[in-house]
Structure 1
Amino acid sequence: MNCLAICNSESVIHLLSAALQGSLNIEFIVNNEALSKKLIAAGVLVHTGDTHKIGTYLNADLDPTTCVLIEDHPLVNTRRTINTIRDAGGSLIYLLDVGHPARTHTRQPPQGIWNTSRLSLTDRLSEILCTELERSITRSRVEQYQRHMADADRVLIVLHNEPDPDALASGLALRTLLHRTKTTAIIGTFQAPTRPENLRMTKILDIQIETLSRKDINKFDRIATVDVQPHYFGGIMSSVDLVIDHHPIRKGYNTAFKDIRPKYGSTCTILTEHLRSVNAKISERTATAMLYAIKSDTLFLSRETNAPDLEAFRFLYPLANTALIGKIEGARTNLERLSYIAQSARTKTVDAPLYTSHLGLLPREDLIPYVADFLLQVEEISWVVVSGILNNNLIISVRNLDPTAHAGEFVNDYFSDIGNAGGHLSMAKAITPVTRFEEKFGASEPNNIHAVTHRLSKQFLQTRSGIETAPG
C-alpha cells in the first residue's frame, strides 16, 4: 500500500520512515528545501513542494487509494492542506497527533473536515513503551528468583488443597521457568484433587502431584507457592522463597520474592507474563494446561477478566491443544452432581436475589463449588451461598454476579476469625473447623448452619451493598 506523509518535524519523519518502511511504500512531502536535502541524504524518499498546491500531490502520484498522513502541526493550516489533498484526488486522510502542545486540547479533526480520522502517535508509543517497560521489570523479577533457586538440589512447588486447574497449570509453568524436571522440582499439595475435571487434567496432561505431610517440608532446599499464599496452611510454612498468586494479599509469612496481582483473573496470567518476559520455550502440554486454567478461572473470560487475561489467552491459544481441553472438560455433569443439585433445591432458602443451601456431610469438597456455580445460572439469583461438611470442617462457597457486593469481603467479615477465608468480587471460600463455628454461632446442626449463612448473607447484602431481598 502506498502512503504519503506530510510532515514538518524531522524527528517525526525519521520515526515514521523507520517504523513503516517495509510495511508500506511511504514517501514524504516537505515544504523546506534544506530539510528535504538533509532527508534525501539520509535515504528518505522525499518530495519538496507547497502543501497547499494541487500540483505537489499530483507530482507525488497521489490517487484515491493512497493513505495520507498529515502531521497536526500548530504552525500549519491543516484545514487548507486537507482540502487541497481532496481536490487532488486523495480520500484516505489521517491527522497524526504527535503531541504538539497547541493541539493537545482536541482529539477530533477540525470542524467541517469530514471522513478524516485522527491517529495519536503519542498514545501508540505510550502503549508500546509501557508494555516493553513492564515486560522489562517482569524479566528482572523473574531473573532474580531464577538465580535464587538455581543452586537448590530440590525445589518444592506447593499448591493449595484440592488444587484446581489454575494451581495445577501454575505448577507446570513455574517448573518451566526454573528450568527444572519433575524430579528436581516437585509439585505438591496437602490434599490431592478429587474433582473429576481436575483428575482428568492430571491424567491427560501427565501432571504428577505428590501428597505432602508436614514433615516433607524440611526435605527441600527451596519452597515456592503458586495460586496460594503461605498463610493458607496455618503456620506450616511461615517462610518461603517465592509466592506467585492472584488472590488478595495476605500477611503472616515471610518470602524472598513475591508477585501478587489481585486484579488478575488467574495466576496463570501472571506466569504467562513471566514466561514471555524471558522468552521461555513453552511446551504444548504446559500451554494447554495454562489456557484451560485461564478459561476455567475466568468462566471463559466472563468473570473478573481484564486486558492481561485476554492477552495471555490470545498468546497461549496457538500453542495449546484445544482438543485435549475438550477431553479434560468432559461431560458437564453426572448423576452424583445432579443428586446434590436436587438436594440443594430441597433445602434451599430464597430471598431473591439471594439463594442459600446446606448440603450436609459430603464425600468430596468439589461438590460445593460445583453446586454454587450451577445455581448462579438461575435467572432471579445473583448471590449464592452453599455450604457442606467434610472431615469435621465447614466449607462455604460464595458466588456473586452483583458488582456492588463483594464475595471475598463477605467471608472475611464473618469467618476469617475462626478459619481460612478469602476470595474475589465474584467468588469466595471459607473453611472453618466445625468446633470453631459452634463456638461463634451455636449448634452445627444442618438447619442452624443454613440459617446462619442465610442470615449473614442477607445482613451483608443489605448493610454493605444496599441490596434488598424478597422471599422467593
Structure 2
Amino acid sequence: MTSIEHAIKEKYNDFCHRILSGHSALILTHNFPDPDGLAASMGLKRFFEHHNMAPCTVSFSGFIGRAENREMIQQVNLAYEPFQKINLKEYERIIVVDTLPKNGNISIGEDVEVDAILDHHGDNKSIPDYDAVNLCFPEIGATSTIVYLLLKMGNIPIDTTLATALFYGIKTDTMNMARNYCDDDIIAYKELFDLMDHKILSRIENPKREPQYLQYLHQGIEAFFTYNNFGYTHIGKVPVPDYIPEMADIFHKLDKLEWIVCSGFFGNSLLFSIRSLSENRAGIYAYKLATIFNGSGGGHSTMAAGRIPAHDIGAELLLDRFQHALFSVFSINPESKKHVLDLTQELPSE
C-alpha cells in the first residue's frame, strides 16, 4: 500500500460518515472543466448512487468547449446540470472536485459550506484548513486517481464506461505519464487500462473538429514569437476558453522551447495558459502573474493557467500590461524576439 493510499484509507470512514449521512449530494467541479474534473465527478456520482443517495448531481459553470471534452461527455454518457439551474438548498451535501472552494474558478460563494474536497493542485501550504473532509493530495497526478482509490476501497464495481472516463482523466492530466505523476497514478492507469473500452477512448481522442479550430491555430502561429527558450502567442478573442490551453499544448511540442505561454480574451477576462518542459514553477508563475492584476491563477509544476478580469481598463491596455508583467516575471529579454517561422530551416533540395 502506497503512502497516499494509506492516507486516503485513514480518511475513508470519515468521508463516508460525513457524506453518506446525508440523502442528497451536489458534486461541483471547476468552471469549464477538463477531463480529469469530469471523470472524477462521474466516479463520485457512481460512489454516492451505490449508497442510494438521491438526487446526486454533477454540476459546473461555463460549458464544454474543447472537441475532445465534448466527445467525452457524449461517449461516456455523463449527465450534468448547469450550475445556473442548481438550487443549493436541495442538497444536503456539497462536494468540491478538482479545485478548491475559494480558488476563483468555481461558482459557489465563499460563505457556502462544503462537506468534502477532492483535489491535487497547488502544494500543501496552499490548501486551507476547511471544515470539510480534506482529500487533497498535491503529490498525486490526477483527481481521478483519488476517486478510483475510493471506489476500490468501497468495493464498488467499475464498468467499462466509467473505467474509460477515469483512465482518460488520468492520462490527460499526467500527459500520458510524462509529468506530475506518482506510483498511485501508474497503478490506477494500468488497472483501468484492462477495464476500459479502447474504442470509446479512440473516439474521444480523435473527435471531429470545426473549421473554426484552424482559424485559431492560424492566429496562434501568426502571433507566435520566441525569446530564446521562451515562446509566447496571443490568439485574441475566443468563443470558448478551451482554445487557449489547447493552443498552448500544441505549441508545447515545439523543439528547444522550455516555456510556452498562450493568452486570449474570453468574455471580459484575459486568460492564459503556461506549459513547461522540465522547470517546476509553472503554477508559481501563473499565481504570480494573476495576482499582479487581482486575478486568479495556479496549477501544476509544468502546467498552469490564470484568469485576469479586465474591469474598466479595456482589453488593449490590459494586454499591454500583461505582456510587460509576463516579460518581467520570466525575465525575458525583448531584444531576443524572433517570429516562430523564422526558426524554420529550409527543406533540403532533392
For 1:402 and 1:374, locate their aligned partners in 2 and report how far apart those are by CA, in whole Å: 17
Letter in 2 for 1:244: L
- Which deviates further from its counterpart, 410-419 or 216-225? 410-419
* Contact 1:462–1:468, Cα closer than 8 Å, also in 2: no
Matched, 1:225 2:99: no
For 1:319 and 1:391, locate their aligned partners in 2 and report how far apart those are by CA, in whole Å: 40
Partner of 2:21: 151
Alignment of 1:53-452 (within 5 A): 131=1, 135-178=5-48, 179-180=50-51, 183-213=54-84, 216-232=87-103, 233=106, 236-238=109-111, 239-248=113-122, 250=126, 254-331=130-207, 335-403=211-279, 406-416=281-291, 418-435=294-311, 438=313, 444-445=315-316, 448-452=317-321
For 1:210 and 1:235, locate their aligned partners in 2 and report how far apart those are by CA, in whole Å: 15
CA deviation string 1:318-377 (max 9, x = no partner): 111111100111148653222212111212332121111222211111111111110111
For the residue of structure 2 that corresponds to 1:254, the secondary structure is coil
- Which deviates further from its counterpart, 145-154 or 177-186? 177-186
* Contact 2:20–2:51, Cα closer than 8 Å, also in 1: no
Alignment of 1:7-26 (within 5 A): none
Judging changes above 3 Å, is the alpha-carbon distance between structure 1 residues 236 and 380 closer, same or farther for their aligned structure 2 residues?
A: same
For 1:454 and 1:314, locate their aligned partners in 2 and report how far apart those are by CA, in whole Å: 42
Judging changes above 3 Å, is the alpha-carbon distance between structure 1 residues 135 and 368 closer, same or farther for their aligned structure 2 residues?
A: closer
For 2:74 and 2:85, locate their aligned partners in 1 and report how far apart those are by CA, in whole Å: 26
Partner of 1:25: none
Letter in 1 for 2:41: G
State the 1:309 CA deviation: 1.3
State which of 429, 447, 457 in structure 1 corresponds to 2:326: 457
Judging changes above 3 Å, is the alpha-carbon distance between structure 1 residues 427 and 136 closer, same or farther for their aligned structure 2 residues?
A: closer
Judging changes above 3 Å, is the alpha-carbon distance between structure 1 residues 151 and 169 closer, same or farther for their aligned structure 2 residues?
A: same
Letter in 2 for 1:164: D
* Contact 2:8–2:135, Cα closer than 8 Å, also in 1: no
For the residue of structure 2 that corresponds to 1:421, the secondary structure is strand
For the residue of structure 1 that corresponds to 2:102, the secondary structure is helix
For 2:51 and 2:67, locate their aligned partners in 1 and report how far apart those are by CA, in whole Å: 28
For 1:354 and 1:248, locate their aligned partners in 2 and report how far apart those are by CA, in whole Å: 23
Q: Given the two structures, how large is their TM-score scaled by the length of structure 1?
A: 0.65
State the 1:434 CA deviation: 0.9
CA deviation string 1:1-40 (max 9, x = no partner): xxxxxxxxxxxxxxxxxxxxxxxxxxxxxxxxxxxxxxxx
For 1:132 and 1:343, locate their aligned partners in 2 and report how far apart those are by CA, in whole Å: 46
* Contact 1:382–1:401, Cα closer than 8 Å, also in 2: yes
State the 1:461 CA deviation: 2.9
Judging changes above 3 Å, is the alpha-carbon distance between structure 1 residues 208 and 234 closer, same or farther for their aligned structure 2 residues?
A: closer
* Contact 1:231–1:251, Cα closer than 8 Å, also in 2: no
For 2:256 and 2:167, locate their aligned partners in 1 and report how far apart those are by CA, in whole Å: 31
Matched, 1:471 2:342: no
Q: Given the two structures, how large is their TM-score scaled by the length of structure 2?
A: 0.86
State the 1:290 CA deviation: 0.3
Letter in 2 for 1:204: Q
For the residue of structure 2 that corresponds to 1:462, the secondary structure is coil
Judging changes above 3 Å, is the alpha-carbon distance between structure 1 residues 326 and 170 closer, same or farther for their aligned structure 2 residues?
A: same
State the 1:235 CA deviation: 5.8
For the residue of structure 2 that corresponds to 1:326, the secondary structure is helix
Letter in 2 for 1:240: V
For the residue of structure 1 that corresponds to 2:289, the secondary structure is helix
Unaligned segments of structure 2, at least 5 residues: 339-350
* Contact 2:2–2:184, Cα closer than 8 Å, also in 1: no
Judging changes above 3 Å, is the alpha-carbon distance between structure 1 residues 256 and 273 closer, same or farther for their aligned structure 2 residues?
A: same
Higher relative contact order (CA 8 A, sep 6+): 2
Aligned residues with identical type, % of pairs: 24
Partner of 2:344: none
Unaligned segments of structure 1, at least 5 residues: 1-130
Partner of 1:49: none
Partner of 2:345: none
For 2:176 and 2:295, locate their aligned partners in 1 and report how far apart those are by CA, in whole Å: 30
- Which deviates further from its counterpart, 220-229 or 208-217? 208-217
For 1:168 and 1:174, locate their aligned partners in 2 and report how far apart those are by CA, in whole Å: 10
For 2:159 and 2:231, locate their aligned partners in 1 and report how far apart those are by CA, in whole Å: 43
State the 1:139 CA deviation: 2.6
CA deviation string 1:105-139 (max 9, x = no partner): xxxxxxxxxxxxxxxxxxxxxxxxxx177645423
* Contact 1:242–1:256, Cα closer than 8 Å, also in 2: yes
For 2:283 and 2:175, locate their aligned partners in 1 and report how far apart those are by CA, in whole Å: 17
* RMSD of Structure 2 on Structure 1 (CA): 2.6
